[in-house]
């Protein structure tokens, strides 16, 4: 058996969980997020107490609250014990596979090269609310795939006491924000332990004081995720909230978060004895890690230029968005306040530091993306189109690149298949490719065997996932309408909503205005006619949050919510509140069509459509982000063209016209074209084409492999 190569970090027990000796491995299973992407593990926890599991969907909370009397009948239940042993055996095989991992097999000489991965947010599971949307879910999928492949990777982030906001929509359609306080001892987290068995804290110097952070561990399969918590008694009351809310609106507090992530993250790695060979900055939020590393090298005796070369040589940077709001900028006065003492310590004049963060000559703001590009040796975008756009945007920061050499490379985002595939789709893949189908995520070979699956089996699988989405949607709508004061009779009518036979279109994402959520409502009369067809019914599900400071995004939500109650749209258009990872799984597994309408080329990549494609759903998207790489003419539809109009209104009108034309002439007729067995044969063929052509190409396993071979190992070897 191969020994593990992942960093091993000791932890402390903080919660009293009493388990029978025969079931004591449940403790270790609960504290490893492997259960997030393993249905058999979740079924095991549900079998302990299905009511509590349905309430918490968090095994730590479940085990804390299990009635001790529940264990006696379970210990006498042979089926339960058999299930328990199978899950534990599978977990142990995963953690230490007899044949080694992909990384051990293909890069045995690099197993000592630890990669440090920094991100502002991580979307691992809805119970661990340290994510807001796409960036966090991508980071979570990156960690899961790194675990599957056996990379020696350690991830760093912040632990938010209040997380990202919970969304409700009031009776007027206004988004309301609440920030619940999380009890970390009831989550799959444990404090990191020192060699003497104490909690580990690190200290970050700030003007006039030091701020401490307690280190917690979330174990993501084989990958440790270290999280920094500032809400501890050792800090001044004014400093404790620094890491309370993800993407806090205040600019100074946001900068403090990014200082804690970057500088505090490096100190956290030092505190647990991990010495990375390569550093990955996922977005500019974490770029302060480079400043801390530069200070360290200077303290060790290197001069300023040597230190700059060292930090640059083995650091890689991923930029995600050309949208200005996605590239963090701060006033020079704030940088002066928080980095003057750092400049004094390193000998780098403040003016030079400001120049490193200057996006363009004459700018009076400090741009973290510009700083990251200048202090790393590799920059990539998250799709081919995004890399082209970012390359044009930042080419002036790459003076040594020739005209024919792209300044910014492309590693297109991917998604973690086991997390996002519905259980019925996974069962189909196992039936066709056996239990090793996951190994095919690194290769396009053999996926055409999807076409051998009988049409009725694939359709039944999709229908089961769609019906589950319907039950979920009705439950959420019932809660929402009850809070708005609906009567019992009105609530009963909700049981008839969501027809599983109707063509179902989904749209769920962050409600930023450039994503054009209301493009499909550009011609309300035309859309009403489409939805009103009794012989070919169409229904639309919307979900998403707008940042509390984004008023235009909130107005979009209100507009769609109000339309969903108007004649012609009521009962056909639904807005589901409080979009999270659980809702995301339901949607991508159950919809027929995924609608994506960003203003090109502002979508960096987008990954929700990739999740839909793996489940056999069909993408209906602007040619932006990942879709130009994925669309082949047989696996979905493109809205509009790849040519942009100079005027936004003209562009919107052209795209809306294309959207309606494709819906009316292609999508709706094709979905309702049935044979004598009631099957839409040509539609099912497109579903198979979607799975076959997109699953491996846009898997997180392929993405992480690309990072290993193109970015991580070259960086580690340069160092």
Q: For the segment 387-405, what is each residue's pLDDT rounded down to a tens digit?
A: 999 999 999 999 888 778 8
Residue 4 has pLDDT above 70, yes or no: no
Q: Is 467 strand, coil or helix?
A: helix
Q: Say which residues have a Cβ less than 8 Å from residue 12's Cβ, sequence separation at least 6.
A: 190, 191, 192, 193, 197, 199
Please state the rounded mean pLDDT for residues 614-634. 97
426: tokens are: 């996974």
Q: Which residue has the tokens 């491996």?
A: 696
175 half-sphere exposure, CB direction, 13 A CA radius: 28
Tell me the percentage of the chain whose pLDDT exceeds 70.
99
Cβ pair 358, 366 in contact under 8 A? yes
Res 718: pLDDT: 87
Residue 516 has pLDDT above 60, yes or no: yes
Res 1: pLDDT: 44
Average pLDDT, the chain: 94
Q: Which residues pair with 122 in a beta bridge?
A: 130
Q: How big is the CA angle at 692 (ends 691 and 698), to the nearest 5 degrees?
A: 70
Res 495: pLDDT: 86
- How far CA 283 is from CA of 247, 325, 591, 602, in Å, comes to 14, 13, 31, 16
Cis amide bond preceding 601, omega within 30: yes
Query: Distance between CA atoms of 617 and 636, rounded to whole angstroms?
Result: 9
252: tokens are: 């100074």
User: DSSP readout, 19-77?
Assistant: --GGGTHHHHHHTBGGGGG-HHHHHHHHHH-HHHHHHH--HHHHHHH--GGGHHHHHT-
How many Cβ atoms from other residues are within 10 Å of residue 500's Cβ?
A: 16
Q: Say which residues have a Cβ less than 8 Å from residue 588's Cβ, sequence separation at least 6.
A: 420, 506, 594, 608, 611, 612, 615, 617
Phi/psi-derived region of residue 197, left when phi > 0, alpha when psi is between -120 and 50, beta in every other case: left
Residue 285 has pLDDT above 90, yes or no: yes
Res 5: pLDDT: 64
Query: Distance between CA atoms of 134 and 220, rounded to whole angstroms?
Result: 18
Closest among 150, 86, 95, 159 to 122, alpha carbons compared: 159
What does DSSP say about strands 223-229 and 209-220: parallel, antiparallel, or unpaired? antiparallel
Q: How big is the CA angle at 703 (ends 702 and 709), to the nearest 5 degrees?
A: 85
Q: Is 541 strand, coil or helix?
A: strand
Cα 630 to chain center, whole Å? Answer: 19
pLDDT band for position 74 (50/70/90)? very high
Query: Distance between CA atoms of 286 and 284, rounded to whole angstroms?
Result: 5
Tell me the percentage of the chain whose pLDDT exceeds 90.
87
Q: How big is the CA angle at 28 (ends 22 and 31), to the nearest 5 degrees?
A: 140
Res 422: pLDDT: 97
Closest among 38, 146, 37, 153 to 102, alpha carbons compared: 146
- 195 burial type by CB count under 10 A (0-12 exposed, 13-18 middle, 19+ buried): exposed
Q: For the segment 111-123, what is each residue's pLDDT rounded down to a tens digit?
A: 899 999 999 999 9
Cβ pair 285, 328 in contact under 8 A? yes
624: tokens are: 């932006």
- At the top level of CATH, the class of 114-168+175-413+703-718 is alpha beta
Residue 472 has pLDDT above 90, yes or no: yes
417-698 folds as: Rossmann fold (3.40.50)
Please state the rounded mean pLDDT for residues 299-309. 93
- In the chain, CATH 3.40.50.2000 covers 114-168+175-413+703-718, 417-698
- How far CA 621 is from CA of 354, 469, 506, 583, 685, in Å, comes to 40, 22, 12, 21, 19
Res 3: pLDDT: 53
Please state the rounded mean pLDDT for residues 242-256. 95
- How far CA 56 is from CA of 63, 165, 265, in Å, comes to 10, 18, 30
What 3 state SS string does 595-652 have? EECCCCCCCCCCCHHHHHHHCCCEEEEECCCCHHHHCCCCCEEEECCCCCCCCHHHHH
Query: Distance between CA atoms of 258 and 524, rounded to whole angstroms?
Result: 44
Res 443: pLDDT: 80
Q: For the segment 564-605, what is each residue's pLDDT rounded down to a tens digit?
A: 999 889 999 999 999 999 999 999 999 999 999 999 998 999
pLDDT band for position 324 (50/70/90)? low
Q: Say which residues have a Cβ less than 8 Å from residue 362's Cβ, sequence separation at least 6.
A: none
pLDDT band for position 441 (50/70/90)? confident
Query: Distance between CA atoms of 298 and 296, rounded to whole angstroms?
Result: 5
443: tokens are: 């290769």
Please state the rounded mean pLDDT for residues 23-32. 97
- 466 burial type by CB count under 10 A (0-12 exposed, 13-18 middle, 19+ buried): buried
């Amino acid at each position: 058996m191969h020994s593990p190569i992942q960093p091993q970090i000791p932890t402390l027990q903080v919660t009293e969980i009493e388990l029978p000796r025969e079931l004591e491995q449940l403790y270790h299973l609960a504290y490893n997020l492997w259960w997030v992407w393993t249905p058999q593990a979740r079924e095991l926890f549900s079998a302990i107490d299905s009511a509590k599991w349905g309430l918490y969907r968090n095994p730590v909370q479940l085990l804390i609250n299990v009635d001790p009397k529940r264990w006696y009948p379970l210990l006498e239940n042979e089926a339960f014990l058999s299930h328990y042993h199978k899950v534990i055996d599978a977990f142990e095989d995963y953690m230490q596979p007899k044949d080694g991992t992909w990384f051990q097999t293909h890069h045995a000489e690099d197993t000592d090269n630890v990669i440090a991965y920094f991100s502002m947010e991580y979307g691992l599971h809805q119970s661990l609310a340290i994510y807001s949307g796409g960036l966090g879910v991508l980071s979570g999928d990156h960690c899961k795939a790194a675990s599957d492949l056996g990379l020696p990777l350690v991830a760093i982030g912040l632990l938010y006491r209040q997380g990202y906001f919970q969304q409700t929509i009031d009776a007027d359609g206004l988004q309301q924000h609440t920030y619940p306080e999380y009890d970390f001892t009831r989550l799959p987290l444990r404090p990191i332990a020192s060699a003497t068995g104490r909690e580990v804290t690190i200290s970050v110097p700030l003007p006039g004081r030091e701020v401490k952070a307690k280190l917690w561990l979330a174990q993501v399969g084989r990958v440790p995720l270290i999280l920094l918590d500032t809400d501890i008694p050792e800090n001044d009351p004014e400093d404790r909230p620094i890491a309370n809310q993800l993407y806090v609106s205040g600019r100074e507090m946001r900068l403090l978060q990014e200082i804690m992530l970057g500088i505090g993250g490096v100190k956290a790695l030092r505190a647990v004895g991990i010495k990375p060979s390569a550093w990955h900055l996922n977005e500019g939020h974490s770029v302060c890690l480079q400043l801390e590393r530069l200070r360290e090298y200077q303290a060790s005796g290197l001069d300023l230029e040597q230190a700059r070369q060292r930090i640059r040589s083995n650091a890689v940077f991923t930029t995600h968005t050309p949208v200005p709001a996605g590239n963090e900028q701060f006033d020079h006065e704030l940088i002066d306040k928080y980095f003057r003492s750092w400049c004094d310590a390193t000998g780098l004049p403040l003016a030079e530091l400001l120049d490193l963060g200057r996006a363009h000559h004459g700018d009076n703001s400090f741009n973290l993306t510009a700083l990251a590009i200048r202090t790393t040796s590799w920059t990539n975008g998250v799709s081919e189109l995004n890399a082209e756009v970012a390359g044009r945007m930042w080419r002036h920061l790459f003076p040594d690149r020739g005209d024919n050499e792209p300044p910014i490379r492309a590693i297109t985002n991917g998604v973690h298949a086991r997390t996002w595939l519905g259980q019925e789709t996974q069962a189909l893949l196992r039936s066709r490719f056996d239990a090793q189908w996951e190994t095919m995520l690194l290769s396009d070979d053999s996926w055409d065997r999807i076409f051998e699956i009988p049409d009725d089996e694939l359709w039944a699988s999709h229908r089961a996932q769609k019906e589950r989405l319907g039950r979920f949607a009705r439950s959420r709508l019932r809660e929402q309408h009850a809070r708005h004061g609906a009567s019992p009779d009105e609530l009963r009518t909700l049981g008839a909503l969501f027809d599983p036979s109707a063509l179902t279109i989904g749209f769920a994402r962050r409600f930023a205005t450039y994503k054009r959520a209301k493009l499909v409502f550009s011609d309300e009369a035309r859309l009403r006619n489409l939805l009103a067809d009794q012989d070919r019914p169409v229904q639309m599900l919307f979900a998403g949050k707008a940042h509390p400071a984004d008023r235009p995004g909130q107005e979009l939500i209100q507009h769609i919510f109000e339309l969903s109650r108007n004649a012609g749209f009521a009962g056909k258009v639904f807005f589901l509140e409080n979009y999270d990872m659980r809702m995301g799984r339901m949607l991508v597994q159950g919809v027929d069509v995924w609608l994506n309408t960003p203003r090109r080329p502002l979508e960096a990549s987008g990954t929700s459509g990739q999740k839909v494609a793996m489940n056999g759903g069909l993408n209906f998207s602007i040619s932006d982000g990942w879709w130009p790489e994925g669309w082949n003419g047989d696996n979905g539809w493109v809205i509009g063209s790849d040519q942009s109009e100079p005027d936004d209104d003209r562009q919107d009108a052209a795209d809306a016209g294309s959207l309606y034309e494709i819906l009316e002439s292609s999508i709706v007729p094709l979905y309702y074209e049935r044979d004598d067995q009631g099957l839409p044969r040509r539609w099912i063929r497109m579903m198979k084409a979607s799975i076959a052509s997109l699953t491996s190409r846009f898997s997180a396993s392929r993405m992480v492999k690309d990072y290993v071979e193109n970015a991580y190992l070259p960086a580690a070897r340069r160092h």
